[in-house]
Amino acid sequence: MRNNKIYLLFVVCFIIQLSCKEESKKAIKTAPVTFKKEGDLRILKKESDSVLTTLDIEIADTDYERETGLMYRSSMEPNQGMLFVFDDVAMHYFYMKNTEFPLDLIFVDDQLKIASFQKNAQPFNESSLPSKVPVKYVLEVNAGMSDKWSLTVGDSIAYRKTP
């Protein structure tokens, strides 16, 4: 009889602990992450330096911001993007874990020239998306925008942080 009471107490404690963990997970998932404009970015055509588009950007320049990126967001406006700024020029790899909408990744070298692309990266896909060449920046925009703007390797970006 005593063993049954101990077993029952153990089962009740386990269920309470499990339900508390589930509640905390739900609270984390429901907190919306919204866009915060931190700068402006222009994309320029390589032959003419004409402006192809101008974007409002968030800047990811800390380890935490670069690791989190656009995760846990349901969408982004067509005139918005996230610019990842790295401390080094190197091969950089991205994935779409916990990213809810498709993206184009535009890899940019240390001279602010577009060096490569990963187009139409699919939501929640954890496959590695490499820069293909060493880069210092990565611009994430909604999927299809790099084709809409007719971007090519050699086009460039210019950005500034807003005060």
The number of beta carbons lying within 10 Å of the beta carbon of residue 32 is: 7
| Sequence ranges of the domains in the chain | 1-31, 39-161
- Say which CATH class 39-161 falls into: mainly beta
CA gap 129, 157 in Å, rounded:
21
136/113 Cα distance (integer angstroms): 10
* CA-based nearest residue to 156, from 40, 52, 85: 52
Per-residue pLDDT, averaged over 142-158, amounts to 98
Environment class of 149 (CB within 10 Å of its CB; exposed 0-12, middle 13-18, buried 19+): middle
Mean pLDDT of 54-64: 97
Contacts with 25 (C-beta within 8 Å, 6 or more apart), sequence order? none
* Greatest distance between any 2 Cα atoms in the chain: 86
pLDDT in tens, 60-88: 999 999 999 999 999 999 999 999 999 99
Does pTM top 0.85 for this prediction?
Answer: no
Instruction: Check pLDDT > 90 for residue 27.
Output: no
